[in-house]
Structure 1
Amino acid sequence: MFKFKWNLKNENFWSLVALLLGALIVLLPLFVVFITSFMPVGSTLGIWTQKNWTLANYRQAWEQGKFLLAFANSTLVAIAVTFFQIITSALAGYALARLKFRGRQAIMLIVLATLVIPFQLLVIPIFLVLKWGHLINTYWALILPTAVNGFGIFLLRQYFQTIPLELEEAAAIDGANRLQILWRVMLPLARPALVTLFLFTFIGEWNDLFKPLVFTTKPELRTVQLALAEFQEQFTNNWPLMMAAVTISTIPVMVLFFIGQKQFIQGIAATGIKN
């Protein structure tokens, strides 16, 4: 039988304590949100003394927020943006990692520079371009502005550099061209990095409020975050109802993260091996 020895001089013990405290700090607000969502409307926020728990908040939040439509729109936008980012990041990342051409380092510096430019700073020129292309109030207005991302390019470039060059040389000897090497050799080996990029992009698009708020006004294009924002009133807030809506909007991304967490950790760890 396994026995844990409480050795205060053991570094692993203090690491475990620090991790448990960190987990408690992170999970406590989520616990409060989840518990509050089951409280009756109009009740005081006495979590430990509450007796009358109810599921009515979830039913009302789902109907009032029209989450079925919001889930469909957010899923469509998130998957489309993720698809475009994976394609563009794989092509650009592979070129910057393996191809030798003049100006490669300068292009890499430009890619990294885009990471420090806030999206809000570019919203006016992006809005004018979308208006010129008659894309305002369309799904493309939510997809195209973030179809390419410097973080994705950097992430895959770093991972591609960790893959042995001999594998590409063997594929080239067999007659494969660059695109075939990328598709059949590099991308299957870069699965952890691809899953990491997928999770980052999908969750980021799912939680994005800025683009739908600026580039769309049609009710049929409302996303999860727009639906969630409508639960916050100016002078009063129905906290149990709002917490139920927050829980509903959070469940899909939590499930997605738990499914891909193993590949996510591998991708983050591997992309820092080689510069």
Structure 2
Amino acid sequence: MKQRSLEIDKTSLPFSLVNISRINVLILLVLLIGAIVVLFPLLVVIKTSFTSPKDSFTFANYQAAWHRGNFLLAFANSTLVALGVTALQIVTSALAGYALARLKFKGQQAVLLLILTTLVIPFQLLVIPVFVILKWAHLINSYWSLILPTAANGFGIFLMRQYFASIPIELEEAAALDGANRLQILMRIMLPLSRPALVTLFLFTFIGEWNDLFKPLVFTTRPELRTVQLALSEFQEQFTSDWSLLMAAVVIATIPVLILFLIGQKQLIQGIGSTGIKN
């Protein structure tokens, strides 16, 4: 009986391997089809951007799009705004996230719930009161009108709170015994250990601000404050019939955030995967 059962196991083993191989092939085919569906529009955009009116390969579209769209000024404005918003969000998210993760106070869960509630409120609903406040402070048509409205974000606070909660509290207790205060513990222990979360917050915030069209469209009218997305929008209206030129402008506007994502993708995956460890 023992020998027979072993023979049965040996004969059933190849079938299991065959089934697993078929499942793997099926998963691979589904992923391949999904990749083709996602990448096909991008390939069309890139191909069109290199096509001349005579259907020949050329780089002239990129040179013409760069100068006609004045992308040098737009890149400078978008970089300044995105870095300003990102820096403020990192500061506010780190401070608020640490307080919610480590400090015990009355109404803590209510505050966290209120912060999470802000995630479902679109910014467009708040544009009128925000515009009134910015106008009252004489900040319309300035860089501050593009930076301050999104200086704090519920997603960033929740992200940092979750990551801080995953760090062993014994590290803080040891630092406190050595005489470190809360701010020193945050700056010298918590933030260095939270690099994946900080990189994740940086990428999400920077890319979101780089791709934002709504704020520049509503809060600015001066040409010298034009951002990449606003320049791209105006470029599309001006050169709608020239698809090669328009696609070249789209690629130019996409390259910086694509490079940034490729550089930080490892930390991004690690940061997102570490935010649900503790409640």
TM above 0.5, yes or no, is yes
Distance in 2 of aligned mates of 1:185 and 1:235: 52
Name the structure with the higher helix share: 2
Equivalent in 56, 62, 69 of residue 58 of structure 1:
62
1:111-151 Cα distance to aligned partner (Å, 9 max, x none) = 00000000000000000000000000000000000000000
Q: CA deviation at 1:273?
A: 1.9
Q: Note the 1:123-162 alignment, pairs <5 A.
A: 123-162=127-166
Name the counterpart of 1:26. Answer: 38
Secondary structure, counterpart of 1:196 in structure 2: helix
1:200 aligns with 2:204: yes
Secondary structure, counterpart of 2:235 in structure 1: coil
Equivalent in 175, 182, 186 of residue 178 of structure 1:
182
1:244-273 Cα distance to aligned partner (Å, 9 max, x none) = 000000000000000000000000101122
Distance in 2 of aligned mates of 1:14 and 1:182: 48
Distance in 2 of aligned mates of 1:139 and 1:236: 29
Identity %: 73
Name the counterpart of 1:47. Answer: none
Q: Which amino acid aligns with 2:24?
A: N
Q: CA deviation at 1:14?
A: 3.0
Aligned residue pairs, count:
262
1:182-202 Cα distance to aligned partner (Å, 9 max, x none) = 111110110000000000000
8 Å Cα contact 1:90/1:156 also seen in 2: yes
Name the counterpart of 1:13. Answer: 25
Q: Which amino acid aligns with 2:49?
A: S
1:250 aligns with 2:254: yes
Secondary structure, counterpart of 1:176 in structure 2: coil
**Structure 1 segments of 4 or more deviating over 4 A?**
none
Q: CA deviation at 1:15?
A: 2.9
Who wins on radius of gyration, i.e. which is larger?
2
Equivalent in 90, 115, 122 of residue 119 of structure 2:
115
- TM-score, scaled to structure 1: 0.92
Q: Which amino acid aligns with 2:50?
A: F
8 Å Cα contact 2:50/2:58 also seen in 1: yes
Name the counterpart of 2:229. Answer: 225
1:71 aligns with 2:83: no
Q: Note the 1:83-94 alignment, pairs <5 A.
A: 83-94=87-98
Q: CA deviation at 1:160?
A: 0.7
Q: Which amino acid aligns with 2:150?
A: T
8 Å Cα contact 1:33/1:243 also seen in 2: yes
8 Å Cα contact 2:86/2:202 also seen in 1: yes
Distance in 2 of aligned mates of 1:161 and 1:32: 45
1:78-117 Cα distance to aligned partner (Å, 9 max, x none) = 0000000000000000000110000110100110000000
1:270 aligns with 2:253: no
